[in-house]
Amino acid sequence: MYNEKIILTPQDIVEKDFKINARGYSAQEVDKFLDLVIKDYTEFNKQIKRLVKENEALNNENNSLRKEVRNLKELQDVVKEEANNKRQVSNVDLLQRLSQLEKIVYGKSNE
Q: What are the boundaries of each domain within the chain? A: 10-110
At residue 3 the predicted structure's pLDDT band, cuts being 50, 70 and 90, is low
Q: Which of 38-52, 56-70, 74-88 has the lowest mean pLDDT?
A: 74-88
Phi, psi for residue 21 in degrees, rounded to 5: -110, -165
Return the pLDDT at 89. Answer: 66
Q: With H, G, I as helix, E, B as strand and everything else as coil, classify residue 35.
A: helix
CB 5 within 8 A of CB 43: yes
Find the helix or strand (DSSP H, E) in which 99 lies: helix 27-110
Q: What is the pTM of this model?
A: 0.53
